[in-house]
Amino acid sequence: MYVYKCVSIYSPPSPSLSCLSDHHNRPLPCVPLSESNPVVHLRETRKRRGSFVVSLSATMSACKDQDPRIHGIKTKIRVVPNFPKPGIMFQDITTLLLDPKAFKDTIDLFVERYKGKNISVVAGIEARGFIFGPPIALAIGAKFVPLRKPRKLPGKVISEEYILEYGRDCLEMHVGAVEPGDRALVVDDLIATGGTLCAAMNLLERVGAEVVECACVIELPELKGRDRLNGKPLYILVEYH
């Protein structure tokens, strides 16, 4: 039997909702978030005032053949083998940036999702989050906050440490950039293990902001980064298996 949860992006996800898969622990198929595309076969529903939208898991993606722009975006991402070290198939988004239409489509997909949702902060993770975050922020009327490696931001900062495969790293945010009650979107080019996004969310929550969603162009689902997001929703455009 399948159990579904309903998540509205017009208000924050309830802490009582939990991540889902079917009882064989297979990931549920993703359905693009769309008011005209409610999912059938619901066992458990929750109505929110205003719009009623449904997702099948904590991950939402636009990749499942729904939006014709996705194919163009996916084909523009270049895979570079064995970078930065042997065994890693690096997802290079710079080739996407060389195609003005595909780059614009990428931004448009995010802007269409977040415009009018009262998002006051877009936080971008250094450095590739700086490429996607500001255009989104400008289009939706939000401020842009860079989350940076240590000692790059001048003045007073707060730091959040996170674990790497070997060792640790640290992400910093300016004190005062984000205020309690700010509704935040976290943006990066890619989610792998989710460690960096987790650190980013922690920084924002520590200053009293509400992380509405994490948004990435690419997900590496096998690395299960979505499980490190403390139940926060993740929106991605393409998956790489």
Where on the chain is the footprint of other proteins (CB under 8 A)?
Answer: 78, 80, 83-84, 90, 92, 94, 97-100, 103-104, 107, 126-127, 130-132, 134-135, 137-138, 141-146, 148, 151-155, 174, 177
- The helix or strand, by DSSP H or E, that contains position 129, with its residue range, turns out to be helix 129-140
The residue (of 84 and 87) whose beta carbon lies closer to other proteins is 84
| List 26, 35, 44, 165, catalytic entry | 165
Q: How far is the CB of 219 from other proteins (least distance, A)?
A: 19
The residue (of 127 and 170) whose beta carbon lies closer to other proteins is 127
Phi, psi angle pair for 7, to nearest 5°:
-130, 130
| List 128, 148, 183, 228, catalytic entry | 128
Instruction: Give the C-alpha distances (Å, rounded to integers) separating 228 from 109, 196, 208.
Output: 24, 10, 20
Q: Residue 128 catalytic? A: yes
The SS3 assignment for 191 reads strand
- State the pairing for strand pair 78-81/89-92: antiparallel
The residue (of 64 and 104) whose beta carbon lies closer to other proteins is 104
**Residue with the two structure tokens 């003005």:** 100
Q: Residue 165 catalytic? A: yes
- Counting Cβ atoms within 10 Å, is residue 111 exposed (0-12), middle (13-18) or buried (19+)? middle
The residue (of 189 and 228) whose beta carbon lies closer to other proteins is 189
**CA 185 to chain CA centroid, nearest Å:** 8
Rounded CA separation 199/170 (Å): 8
DSSP state, residue 50: S
Q: How far is the CB of 11 from other proteins (least distance, A)?
A: 23
The residue (of 15 and 181) whose beta carbon lies closer to other proteins is 181
> Helices (DSSP H) in 77-194: which residue ranges?
94-97, 100-114, 129-140
Alpha carbons within 13 A on the beta-carbon side of 165: 5
**Which structure tokens are listed for 236?**
């991605």
Residues identified as active-site: 128, 165
